[in-house]
Structure 1
Amino acid sequence: MSQVYIAAELPTITTEILKAHQLDYKVYAGEGLISHQELMAQVEDAKYLITALSTQVDKEIIDHAPNLKLIANFGAGFNNIDTSYAKEKGIVVTNTPIVSTNPVAEVTIGLILALSHRMVEGDAQMRKDGFPGWAPLYFLGHEIAGKTLGIVGLGNIGQEVARKAAALSMKVQYWQPHQKSDPEERSLGVKYVTFDELIETSDFISINAPQTSANYHQFNQNVFQQMKATAALVNVGRGPIVDEAALRDALKNKDIAGAALDVYEHEPAVTPGLQDMKNVILTPHIGNATVEARDAMGKIVADNIGLINDGKKAKYVVNQ
């Protein structure tokens, strides 16, 4: 029996820490993502489960793990876990926040730049038809300096996006259900606006919010029709916040100018039609896919197992 089951291949720092705590572990070694049935079979004797954000840990999985003390989610989100049911069973659930802040913010800004300067479209042009030669009006994009960025969700990641955008001379406004304090807003150089004002006046809209029951399809047909025809949407938050079919139609109808998605409504699937559009950038959920961030995440999940195993409290508990 392995004390720890790791449901995906993780950075080596994770297993090094587990070894230092003298904990036995087993790692899923199959092709692709672990199946529901495989996970259910593997957790029967486990005390600790490390699982990736892409793997569902539902009531059925939890019921098959009578010895489970901790579910350490390798990711900042935790929508993949039935946290309430885990709490009922006395199982602690943790995530890996904070370490994703900088890389996701960097990707957000990178996507904004790539959209405005048509970098991905230009790369495809070079690979397919080549470069016909410099001309004054050839392949024009837009500068982001002086443009207005609207951030939906001013948590840790949203705040870092605001800092980086301000450094690039963008005007930054934000909306979320609760306004920040005046000192916080002034330190970030951001302005709080209503949701309607944000979508009507922003040149770029960045979704940096977690998924909640209230924001499912928050960006829908009506919202896209309210946005500027020259505006672009960037989603690095959670896929279901955007109605992707409505987004596809809005782009097709030129209600908005462009979009960049790093997360998807039906992840890992992409809504048909989006992949064929030149003014859409699609990346495979790479927001925190850096060596630095993933090592830090691996350390957090392993350290939390060590803490629980030593009779101490875990860090970053999401179901207290």
Structure 2
Amino acid sequence: MAERPKILVTQRVPDVAYPPLETIGEVEANMEEGLIWPYEELLRRGPGHDYIFCLLTDQIDARFLEACASATPRLKMVANMAVGYNNIDVEAATRLGIAVSNTPGVLSDTTADLAFGLLIAVARRIPEAERFVRAGKFKGWGPLLFCGADVHHATLGLIGAGRIGKIVAKRASGFEMRVLYYDVYRLPPEEEATYHLTYAPLDELLRESDFVSIHTPYLPSTHHLIGERELSLMKPTAYLINTSRGPVIDEKALVRALQAKQIAGAGLDVYEHEPAIEPELLTMDNVVLLPHIASASYATRNQMALMASNNIVAYHEGRRPPNLVNPEVLG
């Protein structure tokens, strides 16, 4: 009888993830909620597993993959419970014949909801006003009390028009917003019409938008896509929203732009050196800061966890994983 495969789950994930894995193999799991193993601990535990179920906060680099590829049993697959996979050295995995999968699609609506929530929160100063009330400072209505910016009929600029960007555009239509977008690949005319999108070069988008929302993947080409020059092009009344990846924004440049009142504010769910945040941002009332929760609804996280497990099960059963990032490993 063949030995059951060994599966490592690196962090505490929704309960729905475990039964499919336990059906096919022996599961070793980090069950302490919120605990992220340091890299050296991950490197110690990883080798000797057939499959690894990981998350975006796990560093799956070439050194780790090589150690797992040279161990017995040999690592066959890394299943990432995230749409992004910049935490994994996919090139090294492919060279070593290790499959990599992700969990796209299921989090798009939930992330778009949060992006729009951030936009409204920072525009209408909702967190700032809520802190004011909790501090016992509310003494009655006033004509200038926490006046903010209107969202309806404003211009929204989307950097990235993939799944999430297009869904944000759908949300914006309910607020009768004009929506510009910039992407490396322009959408077909019929998609632009469906989502009421108008293409604009990046500089033009930055100059014209009242809100700029980032929905691009993190790649070498998007590192610090928004830096000092780009921020200087924005209106002094404009807001920057980021629910994509932190390093897309030069965080120090953002701090300087906010301090100089080059832009009106920002709403951030991700950070350049996450979980570290530029200290100045923590002191600013015109910045809304969230702890990377864009996909954090029960339904969505359950779907993501189950999708990651199903990718492993499919590979184990000799089927093509539904969300395989590097199909060339299958030959």
Q: Could you say whether these structures have the same fold, taking a TM-score greater than 0.5 normalized by the shorter chain as the test?
A: yes
TM-score class, shorter: over 0.9
Stretches of 4+ aligned residues off by more than 3 angstroms: none
Q: Deviations over 1:170-213 (max 9, x none)?
A: 11110011110100100111100010110000000000110111
Partner of 2:297: 290
- CA distance, structure 1, for counterparts of residue 227 and residue 319 of structure 2: 45
Alpha-carbon displacement from aligned partner over 1:232-272 (angstroms, at most 9, x marks no partner): 00011110010111101111110000001000000110012
The amino acid that maps onto 2:37 is I
Quick one: which amino acid aligns to residue 17 of structure 2? T
Pick from 52, 55, 61 the counterpart of residue 52 of structure 1: 55
2:131 aligns with 124
Residues 24-67 of structure 1, C-alpha deviations (whole Å, 9 max, x = no match): 10102457211112111212210000001111001111122131
Identity among equivalent positions (%) equals 35
Matching residue within 247, 272, 278 for 2:254: 247
**C-alpha distance in 2, partners of 1:313/1:112?**
39
The residue type paired with residue 91 of structure 2 is S
Instruction: Determine if the alignment matches structure 1 residue 3 to structure 2 residue 29.
Output: no
Stretch moving more, 58-67 or 275-284: 58-67
Q: Partner amino acid for 2:134?
A: R
**Does the 8 Å CA contact 1:2/1:45 hold for their aligned counterparts?**
no
- Length-normalised TM-score, structure 1: 0.97
Native 8 Å contact 1:41 1:64 kept in 2: no
1:273 counterpart SS class: helix
- Equivalent pairs counted in the alignment come to 319
Work out the CA distance in 1 between the residues paired with 2:259 and 2:194. 39
How far apart are 1:2 and its partner, in Å? Answer: 6.2
- Partner residue in 1 for 2:154: 147
1:22 is aligned to 24
Return the alpha-carbon distance in structure 1 between the equivalents of residues 326 and 91 of structure 2: 7
Structure 2 residue runs without a partner (length 5+): none
Q: How does 1:123-272 map to 2 (within 5 A)?
A: 123-272=130-279
TM-score normalised per structure 2: 0.94
Counterpart residue type for residue 23 of structure 1: G
Match for residue 63 of structure 1? 66
Q: Does 1:110 align with 2:112?
A: no
SS in structure 1 at match of 2:219: coil
Shift of 1:128: 2.3
State how 1:36-47 maps to structure 2 within 5 Å: 36-47=39-50
**Conserved? CA contact 1:152–1:205, under 8 Å:** yes
Structure 1 gap ranges (5+) = none
Aligned with 1:13 (options 11, 16, 19): 16
Are 1:4 and 1:26, in contact at CA under 8 Å, matched by a contact in 2?
yes
Displacement of 1:120 in angstroms is: 0.6
**CA distance in 1 between partners of 2:275 and 2:326 (Å):** 26
Q: Which residue of 2 aligns with 1:275?
A: 282
How far the C-alpha of 1:142 sits from its partner, in A, is: 2.1
**CA RMSD across the alignment:** 1.2
Determine whether 1:32 maps to 2:35.
yes
> Structure 2: which amino acid aligns with 1:89?
L
Shift of 1:215: 1.5
| Contact 2:265–2:287 under 8 Å retained in 1 | yes
Give the partner amino acid of 1:48: Y
Mean Cα deviation higher: 133-142 or 160-169:
133-142
What residue identity is the alignment partner of 1:147? A
State the Cα deviation string for residues 145-178 of structure 1 (Å, max 9, x = none): 1000000000000000000111121111100111
Look up the SS of the partner of 1:64 in the other structure. Answer: helix
Confirm or deny: 8 A CA contact 1:2 1:26 kept in the other structure.
no
Residue pair 2:20, 2:309 contacting (<8 A) in 1 also: yes
